[in-house]
Amino acid sequence: MIDRRILLGTLAALLADATDSNAQPAARKNPIFTHDLPDLDMKGWTATAVEVPYAPGQGSGAHRHPGITIAYVLEGEIASKVGDGPEKIYQVGEMFLETPNQLHGVSRNASKTKPAKLLAILLAEKGKQLTTPA
């Protein structure tokens, strides 16, 4: 079983590298994000990092991921609704988490005039399709 401290440390390093881009968030207090993780056996899992760009006003359809997805806003503002939670606008430097097979009902650029981009870190069993339409 993978140690959660090692997993979270690795994710923190990936996010630190991603935030060294042109979009620099304002100084924030640490930690910038904390969320309990489900109790999973992660043997045979892999981590995949994906940049998700959204043109002004663009969004994606409702979907699910088979594992844990951690999203970090790199540019602009992202409107997101995960599970039963409310729709929320996330700004540069903010994060959200999706648990296995949780409905991601809203994922879109909150602006009709400026681009937005997020970094999604998907943790899932090797070989699983990473995104399925809802």
Q: Is 11 helix (H, G, I), strand (E, B) or coil?
A: helix
The two tokens of residue 123 are: 């943790």
Domains in the chain (CATH in brackets) are 4-133 (2.60.120.10)
Task: Provide the pLDDT for residue 13.
Answer: 52
Surface-to-core class of residue 24, CB atoms within 10 Å of its CB (0-12 exposed, 13-18 middle, 19+ buried): exposed
Q: Spell out where the chain has E strands.
A: 45-54, 59-60, 63-64, 68-75, 77-82, 88-91, 95-98, 104-109, 116-125, 132-133
pTM exceeds 0.85, yes or no: no
Task: Provide the pLDDT for residue 35.
Answer: 83
Q: Which residues of the chain have pLDDT under 70?
A: 1-29
Task: Provide the pLDDT for residue 1.
Answer: 46
